[in-house]
Structure 1
Amino acid sequence: MATTDRRTAVGTGVGFVVILVWCLLPVVWILSLSFKGVDETAAGSPQFLPKDWTLQNYKDILANPDFLDALRNSLGISLIATLLSVVFATLAAYAIARLEFKGKRVVLSIALAIAMFPVVSLVGPLFDMWTAIGLFNTWPGLIIPYMSFTLPLAIWTLSAFFREIPWEMEQAAQVDGATSWQAFRKVIVPLAAPGVFTAAILTFFFAWNEFVLAISLTTTTGSRTVPAQMSFFVGPDPFNPPYGQLATASVVVTVPIIIIVLLFQRKIVSGLTSGAVKG
């Protein structure tokens, strides 16, 4: 029995190491590439680690006004889209979970269909519409479609949490003199905090990493986000893209995501697992 347990432990450890290496190898390669100079990347260096370590790529990226503008756009657009999506999704999910009305299943089905709709199929209509009404190349021109694609997932996530909260807790708050809005804001929302946080994280990740809409609905750095701006990086010639700068920009953009995950990983896991269990 002990031999079987030892073999199981060894197999689990080996599998864990293999999966960890498989997942982290591209990340480590990009990190290594960000420390390579232009001459080394242009020569197609096959070495994993740089011959001559340099911080020049980071200096160039952080001194690039276009990249800094795009970074500011990504942060502002992602935060606004996340805030609005979470607020609207919280209200909608509460209504779906607590109220009985005709067409509830239809609303959820439509929301799921929107979430599954391919983004690229909407680029053409949105381009014409935004150009006609003046939203092309603006922050609202990206915030609105980002909300449209993230609201369904947020509604589904939050509605699962609201269904788990006992109805009696809200009734008890109302018996104590609280209005319906006060009971919702002071009792229900705090209890559903893991779900709200999970919805916010997923929404922020989508807006932060989205590329198709950002590249199609912007023309200048006034509203272009980082994923779209990176496609405009140019190298020494058309046949040698700036691999070092692209890798460096990827590292800089990924750092906020890593920090968020490390700081709030317990809440993220709690939100994803708790919402999947129906009480």
Structure 2
Amino acid sequence: MNKKAGIGFYIFLVVFVFLVMFPFIWVFLTSIKPPGEIFSSFKWFTSNPSLESYTAALTSRPLLRYMLNSFVVASLTTILSLTFASFTAYAVTRLPIKGKGLILGVVLAASMFPQIAIISPMFNLITGLGLRNSYLGLVIPYITISLPLSIWILSTFFQKIPFELEESAKLDGASPFQTFRKVILPLATPGIFTTGILVFIAAWNEYLFALTINTADVWRTVPVGISLYQSQFSVPWGDISAATVIVTIPIVILVLFFQKRIVSGLTSGSVKE
């Protein structure tokens, strides 16, 4: 009975992983098909694999420039969000401040606002500051989206750290900032890495603000750039698939590189110290 249950579990696991990975597998298989075969056949595999779509994806549009823009914007957003969120989460969870629950409730409510609800005032703000078609013009609205969620997530991790460690640091004469930097921050590193990965991926994939604020082609990010591959009369699915595979590789590498820290962060956030 146990063997049957074990076999059934692995069959279910294989089917589940296949269903999750199916869109990525199909996109990759489409990207290596000759352009003429994409519309003429619905076969899984091609007998004449080609890199023509990858060449076209890199030459027809400035894909590498789009990737650079996305990397810079996502990195700045992640660094600034984690910096402000870590200080805020520490103050809300560890310092004697009145109305902590109300503050966290307001932060959580702010994270639930849909982007379309704030796109108009944010566009007017960025235009008034003269920051359209710039990295900072995207970083500011991205922070408004990522900062509330970052504060909420980091607050969960900071609450799991024993207060005795902080009290010991205070008895040794450490100031609140020294306690934060030398005691709280190192212990919360797994949670900070996990939050950082989530913020980076969200900024990398954001589309609405990038489409509205940065209209010059040289400042476009990856999601907007890929959407521009289609022309008025045709949709080059081979080029789009190849571009999708190329821009996914950095995210996959990033997740694999920080895999242990991400798992450690998710685990430490769910287990009481």
* TM-score tier (shorter): over 0.9
* Structure 2 equivalent of residue 266 of structure 1: 260
Look up the match of 2:51.
Answer: 55
Assess if the C-alpha contact under 8 Å between 2:61 and 2:229 holds in 1. no
Q: Per-residue deviation at 1:239?
A: 4.1
Determine if the alignment matches structure 1 residue 140 to structure 2 residue 122: no
Shift of residue 64, structure 1, vs aligned partner: 4.9
Q: Tell me the CA shift for residue 63 of structure 1.
A: 3.7
Which piece of structure 1 moves more, 54-63 or 257-266? Answer: 54-63
Partners of 1:255 and 1:55 in 2: CA distance = 16
Q: Does 1:155 align with 2:151?
A: yes
Corresponding residue number in structure 1 for 2:235: 241
Corresponding residue for 2:14? 17
Give 1:138 deviation, angstroms.
1.9
Cα RMSD, aligned residues only: 1.7
- 1:250 pairs, out of 240, 244, 255, with 244
CA distance in 2, matches of 1:239, 1:89: 46
Partner of 1:113, secondary structure, is helix
Q: TM-score, normalised by structure 1?
A: 0.91
* Structure 1 match to 2:26: 29
Which stretches in structure 2 are left out of the alignment for 5+ residues?
none
What letter matches 1:25 in structure 2? Answer: F
Query: CA shift at 1:128, angstroms?
Result: 2.6
User: 1:168 — aligned with what?
Assistant: 164
C-alpha displacement of 1:137: 2.3
Moved more, 81-90 or 110-119: 110-119
Asked if 1:277 is matched to 2:271, the reply is yes
Q: Aligned partner of 1:165: which letter?
A: I
Identify which range, 148-157 or 201-210, moves more after superposition.
Answer: 148-157
Q: Is 1:128 aligned with 2:139?
A: no
Moved more, 82-91 or 115-124: 115-124
**In 2, are the aligned partners of 1:70 and 1:226 still within 8 Å (CA)?**
yes
SS at match of 2:219: coil
Alpha-carbon distance in structure 1 between the residues aligned to 2:235 and 2:92:
50
Deviation at 1:221, TM superposition (A): 2.4
User: Could you tell which deviates more after superposition, 60-69 or 223-232?
Assistant: 60-69
2:247 alignment partner, SS class: helix
* Aligned: 1:69 with 2:65: yes
* Counterpart AA for 2:254: I
Structure 1: stretches of 5+ with no match in the other structure: none
| CA distance in 1 between partners of 2:208 and 2:34 (Å) | 30
Query: Contact 2:58–2:243 at 8 Å: present in 1 too?
Result: no
User: Which residue of 232, 250, 274 maps to 2:228?
Assistant: 232
Which residue is equivalent to 1:86?
A: 82
1:186 matched to 2:196? The reply is no
Alignment partner of 1:107 is 2:103:
yes
Of residues 121-130 and 175-184 in structure 1, the stretch that sits farther from structure 2 once superposed is: 175-184
TM-score, normalising length from structure 2?
Answer: 0.93
Secondary structure, aligned partner of 1:204: helix
Tell me how far 1:240 sits from its aligned partner: 2.6
Give the deviation of 1:14 after TM superposition: 1.2
Distance in 1 (CA, whole Å) between partners of 2:132 and 2:245 is 29
Contact 1:138 1:222 in 2 (8 A): no
Q: 1:240-276: CA deviations, max 9, x gaps? A: 3010111111111111111122222222122123213
